[in-house]
């Protein structure tokens, strides 16, 4: 299961991603009214560490604030990606469990390509496992 969340700046992209993916958990926000992104990032992160979702997608203006907030939760590896190569590598090498997108940085079509690339990519393990364990420690 995928959990999605956004702040007001990313709301439209979150709705677009929900439509694109279908069955997801929506952790908010639920309008373009100003809200505090750290609360949404925490909600998405908690759903992952609790096992209610396997991966998450967060959207704000740049993706940076969401990543910073989500990465405060132990067990979360949130990556800001603005291209498909970074999206694939964040999964393959870093086992990222949250994708962060910037609605003011990435166009709609590219955003969906990034989402698809990230969701299709798998963790390669091997030499990367030790490094991911170091991040988690």
The residues assigned a catalytic role are 60, 93
Distance CA(41)–CA(108), nearest Å, equals 21
Backbone phi and psi for residue 103, each to the nearest 5 degrees, phi listed first? -65, -20
Q: Which residue has the tokens 């907030």?
A: 69
Distance CA(72)–CA(41), nearest Å, equals 10
Largest CA distance in the chain: 44
Distance of CA 66 to the CA centre of its chain: 8
Could you tell me the two tokens for 66? 């969401």
Adjacency order of strands within the sheet including 2-6: 25-26, 2-6, 55-60, 98-102, 78-80
């Amino acid at each position: 299961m995928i959990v999605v969340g956004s702040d007001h700046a990313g709301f439209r992209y979150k709705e677009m991603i929900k439509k694109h993916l279908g069955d997801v958990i929506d952790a908010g926000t639920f309008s373009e009214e100003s809200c505090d992104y750290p609360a949404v990032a925490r909600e998405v992160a908690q759903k992952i560490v609790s096992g209610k979702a396997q991966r998450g997608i967060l959207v704000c203006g740049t993706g940076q604030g969401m990543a910073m907030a989500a990465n405060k939760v132990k067990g979360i590896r949130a990556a800001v990606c603005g291209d498909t190569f970074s999206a694939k590598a964040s999964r393959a090498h870093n086992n990222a469990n949250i994708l962060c997108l910037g609605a003011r940085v990435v166009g709609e079509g590219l955003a969906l390509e990034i989402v698809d690339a990230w969701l299709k990519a798998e963790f390669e393990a091997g030499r990367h496992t030790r490094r991911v364990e170091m991040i988690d420690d």
